[in-house]
């Protein structure tokens, strides 16, 4: 496929501006560009075809199954897009005065309150732009709390070795030393290792529950108690909230603050890099340190911005990615108090359905009832047949499926991590299961065919390391 710079021709572009009808003024010396400005010059139908072709080469939840574990790639109802496309939301300016944006302020207030209810938290900031950004913000809350009490010896954040890579990265970004603790045999937190790690230098613990292997840690109350007893705080990575929303609340598990990934659990399309949103919630005692503006008030007295009295400042401009919040609120309101727990229950049911069926030919990393996702361990298959998790993932492309997450979590070496989500019907899951079972048979009868898969896609096996490490993102013009 040609790049947009390689199609069209000089002079074919659209004129957006009318003829100039005022005297032209020369730019001051030194400000005018010296080289030619290269812009694609294409007609409307060339643009339209170009982007349609790109879209056709892209796999999204609208094309088919996308069981990317740890990412919650659910189908997002289009009504959320309708809500976000309303002029009154789309066209507001963040500097408009409060009285002219009461509706938008009400959206933010309602979204904060409902996320608070779902998570068991007292206050929320909507500013952070993603999960990782939420982690950074939440850890700054923890840091502000310790600093405010004059406790500056707490320099360590404890993170289990199964954690998402953003957890230790966020802790390091906040200037903390990361203490990694090993998981127990069953994939959950090793209580003895945790007890040995905590001390008066512990600032906090970061944990996701269910964890990144899809298991709910039954010792969660004991875990948060151990950390609190040592004087640390507990941060809940809410990326896996899709498994527990409406069933269990991080606040009731003993967590002090949490982020939620609106682009995972609360139905904003993602995968192309955003925009996302990672609101951070906290218990009352951390609320004075929240960043940005909170909205207070009600429909009778009016809604207003407030700034927390010991606020850490802003972590993003204005109100974060506001339209993502509109989508999330629409989703929460359309599902309601009955629909939210039903969604998480179905997400868990779907994952267990697939896990049990696939166990016929695939080893599971943990032999336990899972939550919304499960991890297959292809170590034995690779040892016996030479077919790796990568080969299986590539082979799935020929069946028209997006592969599951590969080689994550790091504690399982040949991992494939499947998360079907609540929005997939049984027939789709059955097709995917059958494809994987067929691939398992081929691993014995024709491993070579799997080593070279995919055979029917536009691109076969690109140099993935090269593409990630040395991406060419700038077109090289000849003149």
Ligand X SMILES: *Cc1c(COP(=O)(O)O)cnc(C)c1O
Give the pairing type, strands 293-298 and 302-307.
antiparallel
Distance in Å, CB of 421 to ligand X, minimum: 13
Q: Which is nearer to ligand X, 239 or 343 (CB)?
A: 239
Of 253 and 453, which CB lies nearer to ligand X in the complex structure? 253
Nearest approach in angstroms of CB 132 to ligand X is 3
CB of 215: closest distance to ligand X in angstroms?
A: 13
What kind and span of H or E run contains 141?
helix 131-148
| Residue 330: closest CA among 131, 62, 84, 115 | 84
Q: How far is CA 111 from CA 260, 308, 327, 332, in A?
A: 12, 18, 10, 9
Give the number of other CB atoms < 10 A from CB of residue 13. 16
Output the six-digit token pair for 1.
């496929």
What residues are paired with 198 via a beta bridge?
none
Q: Least distance from C-beta 111 to ligand X, angstroms? A: 17
Q: Which is nearer to ligand X, 276 or 279 (CB)?
A: 276
Q: Tell me the sheet residues that pair with 303.
A: 297
Cβ-based nearer residue to ligand X, 27 or 468: 468
The sign of the CA dihedral 74, 75, 79, 81 is positive
Q: Which is nearer to ligand X, 135 or 256 (CB)?
A: 135
Tell me whether residue 120 or residue 279 sits nearer to ligand X (CB atom): 279
Backbone phi, psi, residue 465, to 5°: -65, -45
Q: What are 41's two structure tokens?
A: 């010059």
Q: What is the number of the residue whose Cβ is closest to ligand X?
A: 131
Residue closer to ligand X, measured from CB, 116 or 278: 278
Q: What does the binding site for ligand X look like in residue numbers (CB under 6 A)?
A: 70, 130-132, 164, 166, 208, 212, 237, 239-240, 261, 276, 278
Euclidean distance between CA atoms 427 and 434, whole angstroms: 10
Q: Evaluate whether 400 touches 435 at the Cβ level (below 8 Å).
A: no
CB of 212 vs ligand X, minimal distance in Å: 5
Nearer to ligand X, 164 or 394 (CB): 164
Min separation Cβ 312 and ligand X, Å: 19
CA-nearest of 246, 241, 252, 309 to 280 is: 241
CA separation for the pair 403, 392 (Å, rounded): 8
CB atoms within 10 A of CB 428: 16
Give the integer Cα–Cα distance in Å for 320 and 314.
10
- The distance of closest approach from Cβ of residue 395 to ligand X in the complex, given in angstroms and rounded to an integer, is 25
């Amino acid at each position: 496929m040609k790049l947009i710079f390689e199609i069209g021709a000089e002079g074919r572009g659209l004129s957006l501006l009318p003829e100039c009808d005022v005297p032209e003024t020369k730019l001051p010396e030194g400000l005018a560009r010296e080289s030619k400005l290269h812009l694609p010059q294409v007609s409307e139908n060339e643009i339209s075809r170009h982007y349609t072709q790109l879209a056709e080469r892209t796999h999204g939840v609208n094309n088919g199954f996308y069981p990317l574990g740890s990412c919650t790639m659910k189908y997002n109802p289009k009504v959320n897009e309708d809500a976000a496309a309303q002029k009154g939301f789309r066209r507001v300016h963040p500097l408009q005065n409060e009285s002219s944006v009461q509706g938008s302020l009400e959206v933010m207030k309602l979204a904060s309150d409902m996320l608070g209810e779902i998570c068991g938290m007292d206050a929320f900031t909507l500013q952070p732009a993603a999960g990782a950004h939420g982690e950074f913000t939440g850890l700054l809350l923890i840091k502000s709390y310790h600093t405010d009490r004059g406790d500056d010896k707490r320099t360590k954040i404890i993170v289990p070795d199964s954690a998402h890579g953003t957890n230790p990265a966020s802790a390091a970004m906040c200037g903390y030393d990361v203490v990694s603790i090993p998981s127990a045999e069953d994939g959950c937190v090793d209580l003895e290792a945790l007890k040995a790690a905590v001390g008066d230098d512990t600032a906090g613990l970061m944990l996701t529950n269910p964890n990144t292997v899809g298991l709910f840690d039954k010792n969660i109350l004991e875990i948060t108690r151990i950390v609190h007893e040592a004087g640390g705080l507990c941060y809940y990575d809410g990326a896996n909230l899709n498994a527990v929303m409406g069933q269990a609340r991080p606040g009731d598990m003993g967590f002090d603050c949490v982020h939620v990934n609106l682009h995972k659990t609360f139905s904003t399309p993602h995968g192309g890099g955003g925009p996302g949103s990672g609101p951070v919630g906290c218990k009352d005692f951390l609320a004075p340190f929240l960043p940005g503006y909170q909205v207070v008030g009600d429909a009778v007295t009016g809604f207003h911005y407030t700034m927390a009295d010991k606020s850490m400042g802003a972590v993003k401009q204005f109100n974060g990615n506001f339209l993502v919040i509109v989508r999330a609120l629409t989703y929460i309101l359309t599902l309601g108090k009955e629909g939210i727990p039903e969604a998480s229950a179905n997400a868990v049911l779907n994952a267990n359905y697939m896990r049990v069926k696939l166990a016929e030919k695939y080893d599971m990393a943990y032999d336990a009832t899972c939550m919304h996702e499960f991890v297959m361990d292809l170590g034995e298959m690779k040892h016996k047949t030479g077919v790796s998790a990568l080969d299986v993932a590539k082979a799935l492309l020929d069946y028209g499926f997006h592969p599951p997450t590969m080689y994550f979590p790091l504690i399982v070496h040949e991992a494939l991590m499947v998360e079907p989500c609540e929005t997939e019907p049984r027939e789709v899951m059955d097709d995917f299961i059958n494809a994987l079972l067929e691939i398992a048979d081929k691993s014995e009868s024709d491993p070579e065919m799997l080593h070279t898969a995919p055979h029917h896609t536009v691109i076969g096996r690109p140099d993935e390391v090269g593409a990630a490490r040395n991406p060419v993102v700038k077109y090289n013009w000849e003149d």
